[in-house]
Structure 1
Amino acid sequence: MEEIMKALQNIQKELNDQKIEIQKNGERVTEQVTQNITNKLEEKFAIWKEKHQTLKEKVENQERRIQFMEKQARARNIIFFGIEEGESSYKNLENNIIKFINEYLSIKLEYRDIQEVKRLGKIGDKPRPILVTFTTLGLKINILKQKNLLKDTQYYLKEDYPKYILEKRKELQKEANKEREKGNRVTIKYDKLVVVKSNNKRALPTSPEPQNYQPQQTRISQTTKKNKTKNPNSPIRRSNSVSEGFVRPGLLNYLVNKNDKNTLQHQNNENVNKNNQI
């Protein structure tokens, strides 16, 4: 009976060991499968991330191109506000805008100068703004220069900006107000803020000069005068200082000729001595 019990206990122990081993193998298999799945997902994620970045760059390039094309399309546009609305046809509207520009802006306009003219928005109590496309950019610029003539009237005009530019200009307007409060001059050009600082600038610090300080040119000239006074017969020396000037050609020729005469006299004296010896 005891032998049977021992045999059963051994069997139970072996079963427990096998169970533990099976659990460990299962955990290892699960971990390996999880790692493989994670690696595959990371590879696919990297591929999708690269594709997403490429598509993002393409979309950004397309947006820039669209914005550029929209800017070019609106480059010759001006929007007029406050002009009474009573025209019955396109021809009447064109006549009204030409007459308005001739009368209020002192610019002689013809039909060929206008490419397109139209009202913007829905009909309401107030006159709708008029969008005018001119045939040349120069004509648009000339009209914008004359907008100050509408200062004391109910009329005014603005450039035709895209929607995203209008939103950005609103944001820039807040910054412009802050700069004006500081006393700076501010202008908004298209989508950029141009700030001109006020003239109240702090002077640059300068190093103090010593009491016995003299300019370099003055010190050099004084040194030259002292040398001339002390040694009137001293030979002329060349100086590297620019302030002392160059040696005059006449003086240079005099020195060269003098040296040549001294050399010839020395050679003649030597020849005479040789003849006397002979």
Structure 2
Amino acid sequence: MPRSMIAACLALGTLFLNLTANQSFADERPNIIFIFADDLCFDSIAELGNVEVETPNLDRLAREGTSFNHTYNMGSWSGAVCLASRTMLNSGRFVWQAQEIYNQSEKERVEGRWWGEMMKAAGYRTYMTGKWHCRANAEKSFDVVRDTRPGMPKDFPEGYNRPIEGQPDPWSPSDPKWGGFWEGGTHWSEVIANHSDDFFADAAQHDEPAFMYLAFNATHDPRQAPQEYLDKYPAENIVVPANYQPLHPYAEEIGCGRKLRDERLAPFPRTEYAVRVHRREYYALL
């Protein structure tokens, strides 16, 4: 979704954790946990001003850390802006330089210029789970890797061009039969949380400081969540944004027209009903 802050890094402050109660303070290298969200819009965190959404854990990070609220994505050479974002992040390069080495990501890793390799060289035990979307071998980039995910969960035709007011909705965000985030039986966000717990337990058994790269596919579509989270956001209570328009006047000119995959999730022209439903599902997944 180029219209929002794609693959927004939760730069709410680096979270330094003591993994054991008796950890020695002789080693000044902090344990580092990096949380990466996908398609997290800049104004979708309650602590940062969104009164509609419940985000208690992100709120706590925002209160206890630092929020950079004038930080912008540099752009992309691809419609999937998250791809460029992850290449920039892991290579430490600006967007026009990151594009040059995108197809050589594995070479960057082998030659030690990749973020995970640099952390290992600095004496860290490194962990990774979740969305990767880089052309480097994640299993070799980190010491411990669990469930490396693709760019997005598998989607289905029933999840597009909906909902249409007055007609039955063919899609259910909470029904595991559609796979997607439910593929494997456990929601992918919960899978990452479970792996994180395992990472903490493993790190407590080692003397090296820990670096954890926890990359959620949420809130990328398909916007699927347990029913208990959907129930928090009745569609009729969702506020339609002030800048709502049935059709963007320059959508085709800026490359966000009717042929763009994620633009086809909702019907054309947009309706206030469809906007409320999609925002509801986005909040639930968040």
Using structure 2 for the length normalisation, give the TM-score: 0.15
Greater per-residue helix proportion: 1
Bigger-Rg structure (1/2)? 1
Higher relative contact order, chain-length normalized (CA < 8 Å, sep 6+): 2
